[in-house]
Amino acid sequence: MTDLTYVTMCGLHCTLCSAHKRTPAQAQALKTTLEDEGMPDWGANLPNFKPFWDFLCNLCDPDNVCPGCRAGGGYPACEIRKCAQARKIELCPLCDDFPCDKIQAFAHIYPTLIIDGQRMKKIGVEAWIVEQNERARRGVIYADFRIPRDTT
């Protein structure tokens, strides 16, 4: 059985999320700077320091940031996840209706979603996961080419 822990139902790969790559590295850099400045010693007297420090320490560890949508992480009200669960589908790219309206709408934010899903269907899930892990190893993250949400 293929390990889908870091594969979202819609067809994204969690290791390409900045929460698992860039954010922990940046958080660690900030934590190191603050430690070098003695913040853990004197900052404890500042209002809300403890929750801030705890949050920062959690951000440093990619395993504490988000467990992936299969383990309850990600956007809690995700309609794509709800649909996949209702249809008892492990991966949307393997659904006969892929790419559906929900996926097409999400692809306006994640422009590789549909082509990556088509690639998954073509080469198989295991080979696709290997490719995504290689992308992550090379430093690719979705934030580098994600399109901002339209807030107007």
| pLDDT attached to residue 129 | 95
User: Quick check: 146 pLDDT over 80?
Assistant: no
28 and 60 Cβ atoms separated by less than 8 Å:
yes
CA 7 – CA 125 distance, rounded (Å):
10
- What SS3 state is found at 7? strand
Q: What is the mean pLDDT of residues 121-150?
A: 86
Mean model confidence pLDDT for the chain: 89
117 and 103 Cβ atoms separated by less than 8 Å:
yes
Q: What is the mean pLDDT of residues 59-85?
A: 86
At a CB cut-off of 8 Å and minimum separation 6, what does 132 contact? 7, 13, 15, 16
| pLDDT attached to residue 23 | 87
- Structure tokens that stand for 48 in this block: 């809300």
- What SS3 state is found at 13? strand
User: Quick check: 132 pLDDT over 90?
Assistant: yes
| pLDDT attached to residue 71 | 85
| pLDDT attached to residue 70 | 85
| pLDDT attached to residue 149 | 66
- Residue 47: asked if its preceding bond is cis (omega within 30°), the reply is no
Structure-token match 């080469």, residue found: 123
Read off the pLDDT of residues 5-49 as tens digits, 9 standing for 90 and up: 889 999 999 888 888 878 888 999 999 999 999 999 888 889 999
CA 118 – CA 113 distance, rounded (Å):
9
CA-based nearest residue to 73, from 19, 2, 134: 19
| pLDDT attached to residue 121 | 95
| pLDDT attached to residue 19 | 83
| pLDDT attached to residue 151 | 57
Residue spans per domain, the chain: 14-20+66-144
Structure-token match 């860039």, residue found: 22
Of 146 and 116, more confident:
116
Read off the pLDDT of residues 84-105 as tens digits, 9 standing for 90 and up: 999 999 999 999 999 999 999 9
User: Quick check: 150 pLDDT over 80?
Assistant: no
Q: Which long-range contacts (CB under 8 A, 24 or more apart) does 55-58 make?
A: 56/27, 56/30, 56/31, 57/31
